Structure 1
Amino acid sequence: MRILVVTVVHHPEDARILHREIATLTRRGHRVVYAAPFAARRVAPRPGVEGVDLPRAVGRDRRAALRAARALLTARGPEADVVLLHDPELLLALPGTLRRWRQGGRAPVTVWDVHEDTAAALTMKRWLPAALRPPLRVAVRAAERLAERHVRLLLAEDAYRERFRGPHPVVPNLPLVPPSPPPPPGTDRIVYLGHLSRARGAFDLIEAARALGPEVRVEAIGAADPEVRGALTEADRAGVLHWHGYLPNDRALALLRGALAGLSLLHDQPNYRHSRPTKVVEYMAHGVPVVTTPNPLAAALVNRHRCGLVVPYGDPVAAAEAVRRLRADAGLRRGTAGRGRAAALAELDWAERGAEFADVLEGWAEEAGLDAGGGVRRGPVPVASGN
């Protein structure tokens, strides 16, 4: 198949988009065009994938990115068999585009990959005036129901099903579990992997590092929101922690090996209550004990598999104490690491679910009149319905 993947919000090296979904599709032999904000993020397309640069949608400055995405979809959409969209903003570019595709007689199967609870996420957008958040949440829910009538949906969490009327396949955001056993967890280094923001516990991470002192090195791996960058930079300069900034997925994951613990310090926010933090599963997959706040899905994983410790929301001292407990107890440290990795291998491996993702796209293409194996169309391809 010819597949056009589009994002104006996510980093072009986003693990779900590039390292899981696109990698799975290219291994199946499909041809992928990847449109993303490469220049804005100062990265180049990976070999084997045709890259198209788009402006980045950030804060209130989204019009240029949406105009560019609409132009791209108009021009390149009819060349594709499947268009895979990764941002709810891109739904705004579809109404006129779908009409032009129909008029031209060549409409691809259009898929929205639903990564998050968009309406709940609006409550955390500090650039959005508070008075606008309630009406926008209502508008987002209405837009989601409208999208369900015109495009196919892939959901990243089972809990997202309740937002939609019809059934839609769930493709969880799982990591690739390394096949070779990792080294045992050490005693002198802990890691945080993922985007850094106030709501994701960036300030708590800094205070936990202060509480731990120089005996335990704290490594933060990920890009950061503007409001926490200054504090992270200052903490890095003072030797409180080491902030790597954004790293490509393969380099970031390599830093997990042998860590004493992996931290997930999410605050209690609506957008997080129904989402499983990918970092928690990545820690488990790499044999790293987990220290997490009681985010429902993260705590459920940790308690079910006994692969770490749960600490209260907004309590960096408790997080530091949990790290000390793991450091002092070799049996606890190695037992949590081993049980977490075993659970990841058995239940949480993209190697298993990635095939289901590709099967779904190929099945939809075949329903629309495309032989996904041979690329032969059997007739006009309608715009896919979500129902």
Structure 2
Amino acid sequence: MRMSKKVVHMTSVHHPFDTRIYHKECLSLRRAGYDVTLIAPETDAESAIDIIPIKKYKNKFLRMAFSTYQVYKQAKKRQADYYHFHDPELLPVAWLLKKNDNVVIYDIHEDYATSIMQKEYLPRPLRKLITKAYKRIENVFARDMDLCLAEKYYQELYPSGKVILNYPLINEKLMARTVDDTIEQLENKLLYTGNVDVDRGAYTQARLPLIDAEITVYFFGKCAREVADNMYATAGDQKDRLIIEGIDRYVPRETIDDQYMNRRWLAGIALFPPTEHYKRKELTKFFEYMSAGIPILCSNFPVWKAFIDRYQCGIAVDPQEGEAIQDALEYLRLYPEEAAKMGRNGQKAVQEELNWHKEEEKLLQWYDKIGEQTREAGDEHAQ
């Protein structure tokens, strides 16, 4: 029987109900008998675990100075057996918390080096300098930490890391959603879920009403006001066929799940421009679209196209080729039985293989293993 151990998850950036942090990792650990606390930006919502609120500053530099200090102060009080943090800016905090008798886990959600390199608003020489500085800081502070990797290819960057993929929770309502071949039930509506920004194809996808005269595109995810305004400008006189829910606000998990159920979507979209940061990632939204039996329409990056081909769950196209996108949409409209088959294939893959249940087992076994190794090392150090 697993011993009850004290775990503190920490984030100064993510929403407290972030799917990976709260709904997957924290709740999985709690069900397994761990005493779990989450330190995160303040919220009034009720929670199944103890959430310690910190103030989140809109200014990035104020957040890095003051929010991180609040995280450290609250985390140190808890004297936890495991500290599990989710933001690079908390590396110094985690380094200060690391002792011989505790576990500190750095949960790497993103490939931060390539993310920095694609920030176009920074001069390229400065991007290179910041990337080099970040890698050096990470190497120093994370030397004695355990690494949790959210993507398969991150293991090339961190060979010692443990891959805990961001596969979806099995949503019984979504999985029970019947996918049939009836053309009358398909709507000329496309769905996008998750954060909306330029690198995630905001402007590429805002062109869709101009490419296809019948399509309306729905976005459910946080979107900065400036980005939303530019998306409307991109769509021009067709902007009424862009529905953006989440301008300058977080969209709750429950709201997104409801949207999967509410319509017979023609496709779930991920038409991203080619960037080093995204073209090798298996997007969480892929698995969610698949869970709901919705065909995927995505960019034809080699990793993404191989994924689509393997599971036969959608269509991959060049995101810059309007004619190819229009052809794909027309195919889904003309052949609803094929669209339905893609949806059923996706649900089957999630049910049998691509789900959080399998990753949860990996997470719990890994916690046991590194906890035991730390206890043994602590005993040796004490002798």
TM-score interval (norm. to shorter)? 0.7 to 0.9
Out of 146, 149, 152, the residue aligned to residue 158 of structure 1 is 152
- Structure 2: tracts of 5 or more residues without a match: none
Give the number of aligned pairs: 361
Does the C-alpha gap of structure 1 residues 353 and 95 become closer, same or farther in structure 2, counting only changes over 3 Å?
closer
What residue number does 1:282 align with?
288
Aligned-partner SS, 2:143: helix
Instruction: Give CA deviations for 1:245-269 in whole Å, capped at 9, x if unaligned.
Output: 1321132022123322100012211
- Tell me whether 1:361 sits opposite 2:367 in the alignment: yes
- Tell me whether 1:114 sits opposite 2:108 in the alignment: yes
Kept in 1, the 8 Å contact 2:206–2:232? The answer is no
CA separation in 2, counterparts of 1:369 and 1:24?
A: 22
Kept in 1, the 8 Å contact 2:95–2:142? The answer is no
Aligned-partner SS, 1:34: strand
Deviation, structure 1 residue 129: 4.9
What residue number does 1:187 align with?
186
What residue number does 1:172 align with?
165
Kept in 1, the 8 Å contact 2:280–2:304? The answer is no
- Structure 1: tracts of 5 or more residues without a match: 371-377, 383-387
Amino acid at match of 1:170: V
CA separation in 2, counterparts of 1:141 and 1:223?
A: 29
Instruction: Give CA deviations for 1:6-53 in whole Å, capped at 9, x if unaligned.
Output: 111222221111111112112212221111112xxxx43542211112
Which stretch of structure 1 is more off in the superposition, 66-75 or 197-206?
66-75
Q: How does 1:322-361 map to 2 (within 5 A)?
A: 322-361=328-367
Aligned-partner SS, 1:158: coil
Kept in 2, the 8 Å contact 1:210–1:240? The answer is no
Instruction: Give CA deviations for 1:169-203 in whole Å, capped at 9, x if unaligned.
Output: 21011112334432327421220011111111111
Deviation, structure 1 residue 381: 9.8
Amino acid at match of 1:18: Y
What residue number does 1:385 align with?
none
Does the C-alpha gap of structure 1 residues 59 and 119 become closer, same or farther in structure 2, counting only changes over 3 Å?
farther
Amino acid at match of 1:187: L
Instruction: Give CA deviations for 1:221-278 in whole Å, capped at 9, x if unaligned.
Output: 1001454122356779952222121321132022123322100012211111331111
Aligned-partner SS, 2:113: helix
What is the root-mean-square deviation of aligned Cα atoms in Å? 2.6
Aligned-partner SS, 2:222: coil
Deviation, structure 1 residue 147: 4.2
Kept in 2, the 8 Å contact 1:209–1:320? The answer is no
What residue number does 2:301 align with?
295
What residue number does 1:271 align with?
277
Kept in 2, the 8 Å contact 1:294–1:313? The answer is yes
Aligned-partner SS, 2:14: coil
Kept in 2, the 8 Å contact 1:302–1:310? The answer is yes
CA separation in 1, counterparts of 2:351 and 2:48?
A: 28
Which stretch of structure 1 is more off in the superposition, 147-156 or 126-135?
126-135
What residue number does 1:375 align with?
none
Kept in 2, the 8 Å contact 1:311–1:319? The answer is yes
Does the C-alpha gap of structure 1 residues 381 and 97 become closer, same or farther in structure 2, counting only changes over 3 Å?
farther
What residue number does 2:31 align with?
27
- Tell me whether 1:205 sits opposite 2:209 in the alignment: no
Amino acid at match of 1:124: Q
Kept in 1, the 8 Å contact 2:114–2:277? The answer is yes
Deviation, structure 1 residue 364: 1.5
Does the C-alpha gap of structure 1 residues 45 and 110 become closer, same or farther in structure 2, counting only changes over 3 Å?
farther
- Tell me whether 1:9 sits opposite 2:13 in the alignment: yes
Aligned-partner SS, 1:113: strand
What residue number does 2:51 align with?
51
Instruction: Give CA deviations for 1:64-89 in whole Å, capped at 9, x if unaligned.
Output: 2222223233333x2x1111001111
Provide the TM-score with structure 2 as the length reference.
0.85
Aligned-partner SS, 2:244: strand
Sequence identity percentage: 26
Does the C-alpha gap of structure 1 residues 73 and 130 become closer, same or farther in structure 2, counting only changes over 3 Å?
farther
CA separation in 2, counterparts of 1:88 and 1:226?
A: 26
What residue number does 2:71 align with?
69
Kept in 2, the 8 Å contact 1:232–1:243? The answer is no
Provide the TM-score with structure 1 as the length reference.
0.85
CA separation in 1, counterparts of 2:301 and 2:283?
A: 9
Structure 1 residue runs of 4 or more that deviate by more than 6 Å after TM superposition: 233-237
CA separation in 2, counterparts of 1:343 and 1:281?
A: 9
Aligned-partner SS, 2:274: coil
Does the C-alpha gap of structure 1 residues 357 and 209 become closer, same or farther in structure 2, counting only changes over 3 Å?
farther
Aligned-partner SS, 1:125: coil
Kept in 1, the 8 Å contact 2:92–2:141? The answer is no
Deviation, structure 1 residue 109: 0.8
